[in-house]
Amino acid sequence: MLGSQSFELPDLRPELRAAWAQSDRRVPMEPLSREEVTGYAAACWLPQRLTLAQQKALYNKTQGHPRYLACVCWQLLQAHDPDQVLTGADAFDGDLTAYYVRIWLGILVVHSAAHHLTAYYVRIWQPLAA
């Protein structure tokens, strides 16, 4: 199961937890194949067509995870040098939440206004104090 949302929150209301647990509420997905990753990148209208080596690097970095692939392709859309993005991108390790936290921490350094949003994000992932 590939997912980008977690309902494993300690203070989640029981009715939401029960709805999440229903099997018909999930869409199981396998990672995308190398060909599908290449096709997705080609469909993104990147400023430069990726070389074979870059296509291989994109697949190796994303492991075919659709959400992480979308994030890396968004970075490629903004970049002047695809090699710099692909070299700098972390290889996907299966923990999308950790990836999001790293993104927000990077934004926090650049934009102090993101401090409030990051603080909110951290608060929702921690249990409420009694």
Residues whose CB falls within 8 Å of the CB of residue 68, separated by 6 or more in sequence, listed in order: 62, 92, 96, 99
- pLDDT band at residue 45, thresholds of 50, 70 and 90? confident
SS3 at position 35: helix
- pLDDT band at residue 2, thresholds of 50, 70 and 90? very low
pTM: 0.64
d(C-alpha 111, C-alpha 118), whole Å? 11
Longest Cα separation, the chain: 55
Per the prediction, the chain carries an average pLDDT of: 78
Residue 53 token pair: 């080596």
**CA–centroid distance for 93 within its chain:** 11
Predicted confidence (pLDDT) per residue in 70-87, tens digit: 989 998 998 889 999 999
d(C-alpha 55, C-alpha 44), whole Å? 13
